[in-house]
Structure 1
Amino acid sequence: MTEAIVITPVKDSPTTTIETIDAICQSDYNIEYYVYNDFSQKETRQMLVEAQQQLNFNLIHLEDITNTPSPNYKLVLEMAQTMAIEKRKPLIIVESDVVVKPDTLRQLIQLVNTKKDAGMVGAITVDKQGNYNFPYTFEKTKSDKTIETSHSLSFCCTCISLQFLEKFSFKELSANKDWFDVTISRQSKKAGYINYLAKGIEVLHLPHSSRPWKNLKYTNPLLYYYRKLIHKRDRI
């Protein structure tokens, strides 16, 4: 019997995507894994098809479901939430620039099952040197503790409890936004749950691999915000 529904939304970035998928498929826990291909280029689609033949995951091409251009994160979350509730399982989101360890998903599920007041539990992200990196650079002290956090949890590698999934419908998310980790983190607290950051569960994060233009936020912030405004990108 599976212990959780795990999803990865994919938009190109084939190199990091295959690392993400392969690592999840090496998990030491029994999961049900879905990869959502959000209108990637033909080469990425073919890579996913070939990977599915070798690895144990379910592949969904959003172009077979909707005509809405990428990003379709709201649709992915709605579909995943419906599935998790029907199967009575927590939902774990692992984005396509994150590499987990074999025991990462098991540890997240065990934390959610242990902390009955949990709305969300996030694994902390690190770079290749093991330093905390985006989006958790606000954590300055290395630790293996699991802490309550008032900050929003990123969806880099985060488990959403079944009780919270049943409390807040993702259909209520704004269609005018692209990303929803901030909104859902706030809704979790609004519903009376606690969000936890698991500093003892580290995952490798290679930020913005599928959206390299976002690195301008650090190298040329004026240009980043100009493009964000003009092209209506990255609406949070």
Structure 2
Amino acid sequence: MQAIVVTPVKDALEASLETIRAIKQSHGTFAYWVFDDFSTKATKAALMAAQREMHFQLVHLDDLTTDPSPNYDKVLVRAQKEALKTGLPLIIVESDVTVQPGTLEQLVSFAAAHPNTGLVGAITQDEQANVNFPYLKFKQEKGKGAVQTDRSLSFCCTLLSNRFLARYDFSLLDLDKDWYDTHISHKARELGFDNYILMDLPVLHRPHGSRPWKQLKYSNPLIYYFKKWVLGKDKI
């Protein structure tokens, strides 16, 4: 076993199934967990059918909590426990990302060759191989290979090393937040670890495909920011 791999899912069924299928076709041996975060009954049924077909661990978060989605903190705490129990790194692949067959193995190999790694992420691209959200800030680095960075990484397709996981308890995460990639990126640096983005390891990313309502940020920003500021959604 090379790593624990997790994917949080909130509906967006077609994209989620594409993510799952690509991970299951990856080179190497991985323990794969899919966390269903209060999806519809139709999505839950489809995930259960996919589990029977493709053989991954499926956790329905509504069996564990009554807290409304998003429950990223619950995913991270459970995934960290599995990683520490096995002594393996943790790879998060979100459900709007499609990995290549060698992506996961290359993340593991890079972290093994750089033992002070905290986080290492694969660069996100669109269908035309252009660097896209959330890594537009790195687009000038294209072609440079591994780039060490103080800037935050996203959890689109990112490995968290076991050494870092052993140093920072995810049960301490701020439960008033929805997303934790920025905080955890900075915490790794604070603890003395190195973070990297791999410019030569692209994954296909369809931004916000895992949370379609966030597309409002581009199509109707007034409604998006109403949801963000008044309704308290999307807290980073």
Alignment check: 8 A CA contact 2:12 2:212 kept? no
| Alignment-mate amino acid for residue 97 of structure 1 | D
Secondary structure of the 1:167 match is: coil
The equivalent of 1:231 in structure 2 is: 231
Alignment check: 8 A CA contact 1:119 1:189 kept? yes
Unaligned runs of 5+ in 2: none
The equivalent of 2:41 in structure 1 is: 42
Matches within 5 A, 1:116-127: 116-127=115-126
| Alignment-mate amino acid for residue 89 of structure 2 | P
The equivalent of 1:138 in structure 2 is: 137
The equivalent of 2:178 in structure 1 is: 178
Deviation at 1:229, TM superposition (A): 0.7
Secondary structure of the 1:203 match is: strand
The C-alpha deviation readout for 1:153-194, integer Å capped at 9, x for no partner, is 000000000000000000110010000000000100000001
| Alignment-mate amino acid for residue 88 of structure 1 | G
Tell me the TM-score normalized by structure 2: 0.97
Divergent runs of 4+, >4 A = none
| Alignment-mate amino acid for residue 230 of structure 1 | V
Deviation at 1:221, TM superposition (A): 3.1
The equivalent of 1:72 in structure 2 is: 71
The C-alpha deviation readout for 1:9-31, integer Å capped at 9, x for no partner, is 00000010000000000011100
| Structure-1 separation of matches of 2:182 and 2:146 | 20
The equivalent of 1:167 in structure 2 is: 167
Alignment check: 8 A CA contact 2:216 2:224 kept? yes
Deviation at 1:33, TM superposition (A): 0.2
The alignment's C-alpha RMSD in Å is: 1.0
Deviation at 1:213, TM superposition (A): 2.4
The C-alpha deviation readout for 1:55-113, integer Å capped at 9, x for no partner, is 02111111111111111110110000011001000000000000001100000000111
The equivalent of 2:58 in structure 1 is: 59
| Alignment-mate amino acid for residue 218 of structure 1 | Y
Would you say how many aligned residue pairs link Structure 1 and Structure 2? Answer: 235
Tell me the TM-score normalized by structure 1: 0.97
| Alignment-mate amino acid for residue 135 of structure 1 | P
Secondary structure of the 1:234 match is: coil
| Structure-2 separation of matches of 1:197 and 1:229 | 30
2:98 pairs with 1:99: yes
| Structure-2 separation of matches of 1:144 and 1:52 | 38
